[in-house]
Amino acid sequence: MPSISAIDLTYSPPGSEAVFEHLQLSLGPGRYGLTGPNGGGKSTLIRLVAGRLQPTAGHIKTRGRLGYLPQRLDFGQQSTLGQLLGVDRILTALEAISRGSIDPADFDTVGDDWDIAERVQAQLALIGLEHLTMDREVAGLSGGERVLAAFAGVMLTEPQILLLDEPTNNLDAAAKGQLIQAIESFKGLVLVVTHERGLLDRLDRIGELRDGHLSWYPAPFAAFQEQKDRQRAAAERDIREARAELRREQQDLAEAQTKQARRDRQGRLAGQSIPKIMADRRRNAAELASGRSKHLHEGKVDQAKAQLDGARGQLERRIQFAPVLPGAAVPTGRTVLEVDAARLPFTNAEVSFTIRGPERIAIAGPNGAGKTTLFRVILGQEKLAAGRVELKVPARLLPQGLAQPRPAAGGPRPLLDPDRSALDNVLATGADPRQARYQLGRLGLGGAKALRPAGVLSGGERWRAALAALLLAQPTPQLLLL
C-alpha cells in the first residue's frame, strides 16, 4: 500500500523565513491535487516528498517506489530520446545480443528488461508519441513533447508513488487529455501540483497550500470552488460585522467622552459653591470614575479592532492582474504584422496572415507543429526558408521554459537574470523605478518578493516578473507574443 506521511514538517530556505511550519500530511492510494497561490510552497513540498530537499524540522516517510516529474526539467547531456527515457544503453545491448554478442556486459546491462522496447512503445503510444524514434534529438522536440517524453521516462520506472509538478505546462489540448488519462489509469498514489481545472476534475481530493497551511477539499474542482466561495462569503460577512461593531464601540466611546466632559463642567461649577475639601473629594471620585469608563470603552474599541484585523486575515488576497500601460495602445486598424508565404524552418509549413490591432489572437495546434518556431521567426530569431515577415511595431516575447531558474549550458540568454532580483531585472529594461515597483505590486510581487533573486522565485512568480520586464521595457511593446 503506497503512502506518504509527514509529521510537523517545517522548511526554511537559507536566509529566508519559513515556507511552512509544523505541516501534517497523510496520504494513501488515490489521486491528490495540490493547488494554491504562486510562491506558496507547492513545489517545495513535492520536492521534500521526493527527497530532493531536506526538511528543516519534522519527518517525511514514503512507502513505495517513487517517480518524480519536476516542473524544472533539466535535460543536461541527454541528447536523444533514448537517453531522455533512460533506455539507450539497454537498447544498444539488446541490439548487440540480437547480432550474436555473447559479451557478459551486454547481458548485465539488459538484466530483466528484455521487453523494454515493447514497454517503451506502449508508453509512448499512451501519450501520443509513438511516432518518435529513440535516436530523435531532444533539441528538436517541442516543449510539450519534452514534457510528455519525460513523463514516459518516469512511468518506465514503474513507480508506486507518482509525484508530478505542473505536468500540463506546454501541452496542447489533445496532449493534456492523454496525460490526464494516463494519470487516471495509474493504480498507486498520485500527488500532482496543478492549476489545470481539467486535471483537478479527475482527482479524488484537492489540497490547497496557502499561507503555510494545507487544507483539503472534495474534488471535482466545482465542489472545491463552491466551498472556497462559501468561505470567502463567510469571511466578508465577518468583516462587515466587525466593522459595524468597531463603529458602535467608537460611537459609544465618543458619547461617553461627551457625557463625561459635560459632567466635569457641571462639577466645576458646583465646586465653586462648596468647601474646597469637599470639592477636591468629588473631583477625585469623578476622575477615578472617568478613568474607569474611558479605559473600559477604549478596551472595547481595541477589541473590536482586533476582531476586524482577524476577520481581514481570513479573507484571501486577490491580485489585481492589470498592468496600466498607455503606451501599448494600438489604434484600430493599424497594421501590426505582415507574414507573406513564410516557409518555417524545421516544419516546412507555409503561412500567410496580417494582424491589424488591437486584437487578441490564439495560435493553436498540436505539439511540434511549429507554433514556437513561428514566434521566433516573427522576432527574427530564426531564418525563413522563403517568404517575408514584416514587423511594424515594438514586440516582445514571453517564452516557454520560464520555470527553469538557469539556462542550459550554451543556451540562449535567459529573459531573467537568476542572480538579480525581480526589481533589478525590470529596471534593467529601462523602466522607471516607481513604475517598476507599482507594476510588480499589481502582479503580486510587491514588498520583499520584488527583492528576491529571480532564481529562487517559484515558477509562477518568475512568469510574473518576466511579464513585468517585458511590459515595462522601452520602447513599450505593442505586440506581445506569449
pLDDT tens-digit map of 394-450: 998 888 766 454 544 444 556 788 888 889 988 888 888 888 888 888 787 888 888
Residue 299, classed as helix, strand or coil, is helix
Among 64-78, 143-157, 272-286, the range scoring the smallest mean pLDDT is: 272-286
pLDDT surpasses 90 at 303 = no
pTM above 0.85, yes or no: no
CA distance 450 to 444: 9
- C-alpha cell read off for 245: 461593531
The reported pLDDT for the residue numbered 372 is: 86
pLDDT digits (tens, 9 = 90+) for 170-197: 787 888 888 888 898 899 999 999 988 8
Long-range CB contacts for residues 355-359, cutoff 8 Å, separation at least 24: 355/479, 357/330, 357/331, 357/332, 357/333, 357/393, 357/478, 357/479, 358/329, 358/330, 358/332
- Is the distance from CB of 124 to CB of 133 less than 8 angstroms? no
Q: Is 43 exposed, middle or buried (0-12, 13-18, 19+ CB in 10 A)?
A: buried
| Residue of 472, 418, 425, 6 lying closest to 209 (CA atoms) | 6
**Least confidently predicted of 86-90, 161-165, 217-221, 408-412:** 408-412
pLDDT at 287 over 60: no
Q: How far apart are CA 133 and CA 472, in angstroms?
A: 43
- pLDDT tops 70 at residue 309: no
* Lowest mean pLDDT, pick from 117-126, 223-232, 363-372, 405-414: 405-414
- So what's the pLDDT on residue 59? 92
Above 60 in pLDDT, residue 72?
yes
3 pLDDT more than 90: yes
Name the more confident of 346 and 341.
341
What percent of the chain shows pLDDT beyond 90?
22
Cα separation, 164 vs 152, whole angstroms: 12
Q: How many CB atoms lie within 10 A of CB 410?
A: 5
Cα 361 to chain centroid distance, Å, stands at 24
Residue 293 has pLDDT above 50, yes or no: yes
Question: Above 70 in pLDDT, residue 304?
Answer: no
pLDDT score recorded for residue 429: 82
Q: How far apart are CA 32 and CA 350, in angstroms?
A: 43
Instruction: State how far the Cα of 140 lies from the Cα of 142, in Å rounded to an integer.
Output: 7
User: Mean of the pLDDT values across residues 317-328?
Assistant: 65
